[in-house]
Structure 1
Amino acid sequence: MFDTMVITKTVASLCGALLVLLLGQWAASALYVPRNADAPQAYAIDTGEEDMDAEPVAELSFEDAFQVADADAGARVWSQCRACHALEAGRNGVGPYLHGVVDRPIGAVDGFNYSGALAQVGELWTPENISRFIEGPANVASGTSMNYRGLGDVQDRANLIAYIQSQS
């Protein structure tokens, strides 16, 4: 029923139709160019938004964010952590338990095999050290086995630390 010549004619006709459409688009874009395409904008519409050239708002420091931290808001952020960590003392998961982690010595959980990269963080898990670490674990402790991309928002980090501290 179908031979090689029929298939070749079908493919050639589809390619020819595509070529005609592309050439038509090229000709239309060359013929129908607005006269004032390169002219400056005649007027601006005020959308109510502030000027885009305005100075950016200064970022909130962690200390200020931690002073106004909301533990209830941190409970929502905790959902990202609970896949690997637990808040119950002595219950390790993929990661060590976080009960009492604030001001605990780094790498001090018995029965958990740490990667050894946490020595770069410091001596204690102070709120500042925890914040730096969860902002980007691989950036702070290169070689860490914690596979987490990080939490960029400083207020979310402060809320999370306040939640962990309130549950301890």
Structure 2
Amino acid sequence: MFDTMTLTKILGAGCGALLLFLMGSWAAEELYHMGGGHGDGEHLAGYVIEVESAGEVEEVEEVNIVELIAAADIGKGEKVFGKCKACHKLEDGANGTGPHLFNTVNRDKGSIEGFGYSTTLAEMEGNWGYEELNAFLTNPKGYVKGTKMSFSGLKKDADRANLIAYLETIK
């Protein structure tokens, strides 16, 4: 089937491949050795990454939205509204993809007749006060589970305060 010369070539090729693999492994270890001992458990990484321990909790600064709204810039709020106007209109009764925002501040939640609110929002009680608007505008889907609103929210406190102050002027 195979003559001696063919078997010798096959065996030589296998030994050569093994030798190349071992030499490559040795060369890589020499080039990229990360220090430490063999199995001493220390110094196995090239550098240390500092992380907070599970016991430390980062303090989150509470935002007083009422104070921010009192100092808000209505002109900037009008600019922030540019992110809303694709779905919302300011004219009374003029619904778009979202309900109109005429007289929104302190209006009952889910109270626009003829607008198809999500069930969760339609069943919510209370008014759209400063705190409620701030929470909703921060994270609509977090504030109203199941909301149809696809907007992810306004992350900057000042943007939310400016927008709420602007909406308060729309009456």
Q: Shorter-normalised TM-score: what interval? A: 0.5 to 0.7
CA distance in 2, matches of 1:120, 1:155: 30
Over the aligned positions, Cα root-mean-square deviation in angstroms equals 2.9
Q: State the percentage of identical aligned residues.
A: 37
Q: How far 1:161 sits from its partner (Å)?
A: 0.7
- Mean Cα displacement is larger for which, 62-71 or 84-93? 62-71
| Residue deviations 1:43-99 (CA, integer Å, cap 9, x gap) | xxxxxxxxxxxx989453212211111111111110110010000111000000000
Q: What is the total number of aligned residue pairs between the two structures?
A: 129
Larger radius of gyration: 2
Structure 1: unaligned runs, 5 residues or longer: 1-23, 31-54
Per the alignment, residue 78 of structure 2 pairs with 75
Contact residue 121 and residue 129 of structure 1 kept, 8 A: no
- Which runs of at least 4 in structure 1 moved beyond 2 Å after TM superposition? 24-30, 55-60, 119-122
Relative distance call for 1:109 and 1:76 in structure 2 (3 A) is same
Per the alignment, residue 149 of structure 1 pairs with 152
Q: Which amino acid aligns with 1:153?
A: K
Give 1:126's match in structure 2, choosing from 107, 113, 129.
129
Contact residue 87 and residue 99 of structure 1 kept, 8 A: yes
Q: How far 1:28 sits from its partner (Å)?
A: 6.9
- State TM-score, norm by structure 2: 0.63
Per the alignment, residue 108 of structure 1 pairs with 111
Q: Which amino acid aligns with 2:151?
A: Y
